[in-house]
Amino acid sequence: MSKVFIHDQLIRFAHCDPAAIVYFPRFFDLAHSTMEDWFADGVGIPLAELIRERRIGTPTVKINCDFVKPLRMGDTLRFELRVSKLGNASVNMDYRGTKDGIEHLQIKQTLVFMNLDSAKATPIPNDVRKRIEKFLIAPDKAS
């Protein structure tokens, strides 16, 4: 049974625009924070450690987002994070964003593991892969 990483964040003043709703590029900052905390607390290997000690970065090569309902200052955004595909050097991440149990947005992101010195894709190290696999959803459940 695959694990889901649950991550709550407060919508702040700085996230909101003159229409008093979240300015959409800020949702990608919020998703990035979720990914950072997933690496640290879910996978168990902080991104800062991956970058500094292993010289591996995880640039985003593709991202799709559907904004279903707006969010406002003071709301709590919950992201449920799952891994929908695990490639040799890439990870497909699914973020389901809810408030009070109701879906407000969906993000699908593809990360690539990259050697920061050569700037080329690099296979996901085995110890990291094993930890990421726990969040991989069963193929028949992937959307």
β partners of residue 80: 6, 96
Give DSSP secondary structure letters for 62-108. EEEEEE-S--BTT-EEEEEEEEEEE-SSEEEEEEEEEETTEEEEEEE
- In the complex with its own copies, the residue whose CB is nearer, 57 or 125, is 57
H or E segment at 115? Answer: strand 114-115
Phi and psi torsions of 94, nearest 5°: -115, 125
Residues 48-77 as x/- pattern, contact with its own copies by CB under 8 A: xx-x-----x-xxxxxxxxxx-x-xxx---
28 lies in the site for its own copies, by CB under 8 A: yes
- The correct pick among 47, 71, 81, 136 for binding its own copies (CB under 8 A) is 47
- Count residues binding its own copies (CB under 8 A): 40
Residues 73-102 that bind its own copies (CB under 8 A): 73-74
Read off the tokens for 4.
């889901």
Under the binding rule (CB under 8 A), the answer on residue 17 touching its own copies is yes
CB neighbour list of residue 133: distance below 8 Å, 6 or more residues apart: 83, 86
Query: Given the complex with its own copies, which of 114 and 124 has the nearer CB atom?
Result: 114
- Least spacing, CB of residue 138 vs its own copies, in Å: 26
Part of the chain binding its own copies (CB under 8 A), chosen from 10-18, 80-88, 90-98, 127-135: 10-18
